[in-house]
Structure 1
Amino acid sequence: MKIAVLGAGAMGCLYGGLLSIGDNEVWLIDIWKEHVNRINEKGLIIEDENGKKIIKNVQATIDTNDIGIVDLILVFVKSTITDKALKPVKNIIGENTLILTLQNGLGNIEKIQSVVGKKNIIAGTTSHGSTLLEPARIYHAGKGTTVIGEIDRENTERIQNLKEIFTKCKIETVITNNVLGVIWDKLLVNVGINAITALTELRNGELLDFKETEELLEIAVEEGINVSKAKKIILINEDPIEHTKKVCRLTTSNKSSMLQDIINKRKTEIEMINGAIVKEGERQGIKTPINLALTNLIKIKERN
Structure 2
Amino acid sequence: MKKIRKVTLVGLGAIGAAYGSLLHDSLADSFQVVANEERIKRYQEKGILINEQPYYFNYITPEAKTEPADLVIFAVKNAELPQAIKDARHHVGSDTIILSLLNGISSEEEIYAAYHNEHILYSMSVEIDAVRAHNEVRFTTRGRIEYGEMDNTLSDDVHAVKELFEEIGINYEISRNISHTMWWKFMINVGINQTSAVLKAPYGVFQSLPIAYEWVESAMREVVSLSEKTGTGLSEKDLKKFWPIINNLSPNGKTSMLQDVEAGRKTEVEYFAGKVCELGKKYGVPTPINEQLYKMIRIIEEMEKLPK
Q: Same fold (TM over 0.5)?
A: yes
Provide the rounded CA distance (Å) in 1 between the counterparts of 2:100 and 2:217: 28
CA gap 1:139/1:164 in 2 versus in 1, 3 angstroms: same
Q: Deviations over 1:198-241 (max 9, x none)?
A: 11112223135445433322211111100011101034x76233
State the match for 2:14 in structure 1.
Answer: 10
CA gap 1:43/1:202 in 2 versus in 1, 3 angstroms: closer
Give the C-alpha shift of residue 94 in structure 1: 0.8
The answer to whether 1:26 aligns with 2:34 is no
CA gap 1:274/1:205 in 2 versus in 1, 3 angstroms: farther
What amino acid does structure 2 have at the position aligned with 1:10? A
CA gap 1:64/1:270 in 2 versus in 1, 3 angstroms: same
The answer for unaligned runs of 5 or more in structure 2 is 304-308
CA contact (8 A) 1:106 1:276 kept: no
Provide the rounded CA distance (Å) in 2 between the counterparts of 1:89 and 1:23: 19
The answer to whether 1:155 aligns with 2:149 is no
Provide the rounded CA distance (Å) in 2 between the counterparts of 1:92 and 1:290: 41
What amino acid does structure 1 have at the position aligned with 2:95? N
Question: Alignment identity in percent?
Answer: 26
Give the C-alpha shift of residue 10 in structure 1: 1.9
CA gap 1:76/1:196 in 2 versus in 1, 3 angstroms: same
Structure-to-structure mapping, 1:178-193, within 5 angstroms: 178-193=177-192
State the match for 1:143 in structure 2.
Answer: 142
Please tell me the root mean square deviation across aligned C-alpha atoms, in Å.
2.2
CA contact (8 A) 2:34 2:87 kept: no
CA gap 1:42/1:263 in 2 versus in 1, 3 angstroms: closer
Provide the rounded CA distance (Å) in 2 between the counterparts of 1:109 and 1:82: 10
Structure with the higher strand share, 1 or 2: 1
Which one of the candidate residues 220, 242, 245 is aligned to 1:244?
A: 242
Provide the rounded CA distance (Å) in 1 between the counterparts of 2:47 and 2:77: 24
Give the C-alpha shift of residue 39 in structure 1: 4.2
State the match for 2:120 in structure 1.
Answer: 121
Q: Deviations over 1:115-149 (max 9, x none)?
A: 022513112121223222433x4223323221110
The answer for unaligned runs of 5 or more in structure 1 is none
What amino acid does structure 1 have at the position aligned with 2:243? K
Q: Deviations over 1:176-206 (max 9, x none)?
A: 2311211111111111111111111122231
Moved over 6 A (4+): none
CA contact (8 A) 2:15 2:75 kept: yes
State the match for 1:177 in structure 2.
Answer: 176
Provide the rounded CA distance (Å) in 1 between the counterparts of 2:63 and 2:162: 26
Provide the rounded CA distance (Å) in 2 between the counterparts of 1:41 and 1:205: 35
Structure-to-structure mapping, 1:100-119, within 5 angstroms: 100-117=99-116, 119=118
TM-score, scaled to structure 1? 0.89
Q: Deviations over 1:89-128 (max 9, x none)?
A: 3222111111111111121112112202251311212122
CA gap 1:62/1:10 in 2 versus in 1, 3 angstroms: farther
State the match for 1:89 in structure 2.
Answer: 88
What amino acid does structure 2 have at the position aligned with 1:132? R
State the match for 2:306 in structure 1.
Answer: none
What SS does the aligned partner of 1:206 have? helix
CA contact (8 A) 2:9 2:33 kept: yes
TM-score, scaled to structure 2? 0.88
Provide the rounded CA distance (Å) in 1 between the counterparts of 2:286 and 2:162: 39
Provide the rounded CA distance (Å) in 2 between the counterparts of 1:215 and 1:38: 42
CA contact (8 A) 2:131 2:256 kept: no
Deviates more, 1:260-269 or 1:247-256: 247-256
